[in-house]
Chains A and B, each alone.
Chain A
Amino acid sequence: MDFISTKWIIHLLLCCLFHGVGCNSVEQKIYVKLNDTVPCVRLLNATHQIGCQSSLAGDVGVIHILESEGNLEWVLSTGPSPPYMVILESTLFTRDIMMKLKNGSSRIAGVAVVKPSTNPIEDFSPHTTCPNENTGVYSESYGPTMAHCNTTVWNPKGNGLSYEEFNFPIFSLKDDNGTEFIRQCYLKHNLVVNGSAPGYPLCAMQLSSHMHAVRDTVTCMRRSDTSPFSLNPEVVCDPLGSFNVWGSTKSLNNTAKGHKENETVVIAAARLDSRAFFHGISLGAESGASGFITLLAAAGALANVTRQDHPPRTILYTFFQGETFDYIGSSRMVYDMEKDNFAIDLDNIHSLLEIGQVGLHNISGLWLHSDPVSRRNDSIDQEVKRLIDYFQSVATNLTISLGQPDVSQPLPPASFQRFLRAQSIPGVVLTDHKSHFTNRFLESMYDNAEYLNLTYPPDLSPEEQFNFDTDTARGLTEVATMVARTLYKQAGGADEQLASINADLQTVNHLLYGFLKQTNNSWFRAIVPPEHQRFLGPAPPEYYVGVTFNNTFSNLVRYVLANLTGTAVNISKENCTDQSKFTDDTESTDMYDYMWVSGVTPPNGTEPVPYCVRSTVRLARAQSPAFELQDYHSSNYSTWSESRWKYIGARIFLVAGNDLEMLTLGMGVAVLVTSLLLTYVINSKADFLFSSGREPANATY
């Protein structure tokens, strides 16, 4: 019995297996799936939706490779087989062409943009001309003449493409074998010769990126209501957000929140995230990475001196996430400080120093921006002047050109603006632009390592590249040294120590390689906990802030900061990971964070030796307060959310002409009708046809 049933099961399984294989091979014969594609997805705020959307089943169109702008006419009016799937070379990915395609969208099934392997010569920024226009400090009630970038347009090259809504899918393709395959397919089947349309079959492409959320955050959050009373408990969008990273030179009790007596803090801030039209390929080398790498290097330079000779004031390093989307991280930290939900409050803050975009300082020098409105107050003005003096005195000893823009010029978009919204705090923002941004590729896919001139000789192995001295690193090391010395001085440190504060060139090399080339390198492998090793790969981390549960990048910054500022302690794994082991007040987990990291492989060993790191580095939630307050109409806080989706994919195949399709359908219908007729006739003549002398079967109940 058993034997027989087992045999049957095996038979069944074999059948299933065979069936599966059969199906696959048919699918593979028809479709060629494209890997290495990056979609444009839908984002929503309090009033709008932006991004792209395909129909539920994916949009199919005949491939047309656009060679020039004049070629658009074929797609938009004359071509005989719409809808078209337009393949754009990156040089044609401009606002002008995209808007023409958007307006002719009944003939457009979708767009695929080929990402080039080198940066273009022309400027390209799909961001707005006035980033974070409505959530900064300048408004009708605070410096009304400076609101909405009236005084300085920060990103004049911005074409706003990232903030448009497209009702067809747009994908980015990597320029590789897949793209070459599309070209071959196009040349073989679709090429227009002397203006005459090619015959069927034609090469077509299907792009699927169906988005669940629609209209605005208010709507999608309402529809995402998963309470037990909800009739339709399906989440359709998630708030953008991640985690801020912060650490201090002196440990601050993180359990006792709110105001700390006898504590004054100098905040050193930088932004972590950036974006691009296609979120998956945002790198923000200049717009985000140059600033936070400089600050990390400065924190590393200050680690020893602050341990031996701590200045009177504490330096607090903060790395904000989600700043690109209306200051998610900084607005949340300020909100937490106001609500006594952070280790310090706003009254503890002495001053603030923010590192903005500094990667191109060799082109345009460095500039110290300050807020003209708060400087109308004398005491604030004094403090700002002193801070600028510190900067300048430090810079004279280094080969850095440092200037001040016109005093009436407002602050560029910066996290500092969110602090000013809450309270007048003296502070400056260090950037590499005097007025408008030097960055030609703000929040685009070209703001990458190449743009910072971070190039390595091709014959080097990854490990040699990792240790290779680049000019970019040398420049940023200088900047980091200047920042570190100024911070130490601003915190009240002694002048004699300044000469000993120097950012390490090798550290900057490693940071640049790790954050802009690949995270899988010997340093990162050693400083992350064993369970996080799997996040290290042959690519940079994703700089788009993403939705709340994604915090790989923030964690990576946390490990780096902990490694640069923390100390190794000689305790066992159990004691390190168990939070309750430290009963001593000065060592408790209220004061310090303990982390068990992978460690390096000793020269004579085979396995890395893990160890425990004690640091003051922590993560703090970076989710907009609007979602905390459930105020999705908020005009004070970021309301950006990202739609969910089920499937995103791209594939190409050959489509037959309409005539052939209709013929096939007609044949099918004809066969069906014939068989029905035949059955009816046979049934009605059954007595005659099958008369074997048997009684006809009785009608049953």
Chain B
Amino acid sequence: MNLERVSNEEKLGLCRKYYLGGFAFLPFLWLVNVVWFFRDAFVKPAYTEQLQIKTYVKRSGLGLAVWVAVLTTWITIYQHYRSQWGEVADYLSFTIPLGIP
């Protein structure tokens, strides 16, 4: 879809859908929202819906940042301590690498 050919109202609707969808543990929707609507929210000259789009994009960005922080922390801890945790880690793991502890 080419965002240039969509009316501002439709853009707002779309932005809101992506923002709300992100709450269903789908941080990638927020990522898409931020990337996709960044220009409309912050770069383009002002228009009526811009304020709301700006809010959605900011919140999506915030949510994304939280997700990134949480996941990075967990993955670091998991990768670092997996071999020490032994049995617990094996049950937590979906795929266990072959040949290393």
Contact = CB atoms under 8 A, between A and B. Distances in A.
Q: Do A and B come from one complex?
A: yes
Interface of A: 53, 56, 210-215, 219, 222-223, 231-232, 234, 236, 699, 701
15 contacts: A56-B99, A210-B99, A212-B99, A213-B99, A214-B101, A215-B101, A219-B86, A219-B90, A219-B101, A223-B96, A231-B94, A231-B95, A232-B94, A234-B98, A699-B2
Given A223-B90, A232-B93, A210 B98 contact: yes
Nearest to A54: B99
B100 interface: yes
A215 to B, nearest CB: 5
Given A231-B93, A231-B94, A211 B1 contact: no
Contacts of B99: 53, 56, 210-214
A232 B96 CA distance: 7
A234 to B, nearest CB: 8
Interface in B1-29: 1-2, 5
B90 A222 contact: yes
B93 to A, nearest CB: 7
B1 to A, nearest CB: 7
Contacts of B96: 223, 232
A213 B90 CA distance: 13
Q: In the A-B complex, list the 8 residue pairs whose CB atoms are closest, starting with the nearest.
A: A212-B98, A231-B94, A215-B101, A214-B101, A211-B99, A232-B96, A212-B99, A210-B99
Interface centre among B1, B95, B99, B100 (most CB of A within 10 A): B99
A219 B99 CA distance: 11
A218 to B, nearest CB: 8
Nearest to A643: B99
A376 to B, nearest CB: 44
A210 B86 CA distance: 21
Contacts of B93: 231-232
Contacts of A215: 101
A213 B101 CA distance: 9
Contacts of A214: 99-101
A231 B89 CA distance: 12
Contacts of B95: 231-232
A53 B99 CA distance: 8
B7 to A, nearest CB: 15
A56 B98 CA distance: 9
Contacts of B5: 701
Given A211-B99, A219-B86, A222-B87, 14 more contacts: A53-B99, A56-B98, A56-B99, A210-B99, A213-B99, A214-B101, A223-B90, A223-B96, A231-B93, A231-B94, A236-B98, A699-B2, A701-B1, A701-B5
B35 to A, nearest CB: 19
A56 to B, nearest CB: 7
Contacts of B86: 219
Contacts of A219: 86, 90, 101
A231 B100 CA distance: 18
A213 B86 CA distance: 14
Contacts of A231: 93-95
Contacts of B100: 214
A175 to B, nearest CB: 31
Contacts of A222: 87, 90
A381 to B, nearest CB: 49
A236 B86 CA distance: 16
Interface in B33-88: 86-87
A701 B2 contact: yes
A234 B99 CA distance: 12
Contacts of A56: 98-99
Contacts of B87: 222
Contacts of A212: 98-99
Contacts of A701: 1-2, 5
Nearest to A214: B101
Nearest to A644: B98
B98 to A, nearest CB: 4
Nearest to B4: A699
Nearest to A231: B94
A699 B96 CA distance: 47
Nearest to B100: A214
A40 to B, nearest CB: 15
Nearest to B95: A232
Contacts of A234: 98
A701 B94 CA distance: 40
A219 B91 CA distance: 11
A326 B87 CA distance: 26
A223 B92 CA distance: 12
A231 B87 CA distance: 14
A306 to B, nearest CB: 53
Nearest to B94: A231
A231 B94 CA distance: 5
A207 to B, nearest CB: 15
Nearest to A53: B99
Nearest to B91: A231
B96 to A, nearest CB: 5
Nearest to A55: B99
A219 B83 CA distance: 11
A672 B2 CA distance: 30
B13 to A, nearest CB: 18
Nearest to A699: B2
A88 B27 CA distance: 57
B5 to A, nearest CB: 8
Interface centre among A53, A212, A231, A699 (most CB of B within 10 A): A231
A211 B93 CA distance: 20
Nearest to A211: B99
A219 to B, nearest CB: 7
Contacts of A53: 99
A699 B1 CA distance: 12
A231 B91 CA distance: 8
Interface centre among B1, B98, B101 (most CB of A within 10 A): B98
Contacts of B1: 701
A240 B26 CA distance: 47
Contacts of B101: 214-215, 219
Nearest to A225: B90
Nearest to B2: A701
A211 B86 CA distance: 19
A53 B95 CA distance: 21
B57 to A, nearest CB: 24
A214 B98 CA distance: 8
A211 B100 CA distance: 9
Contacts of B90: 219, 222-223
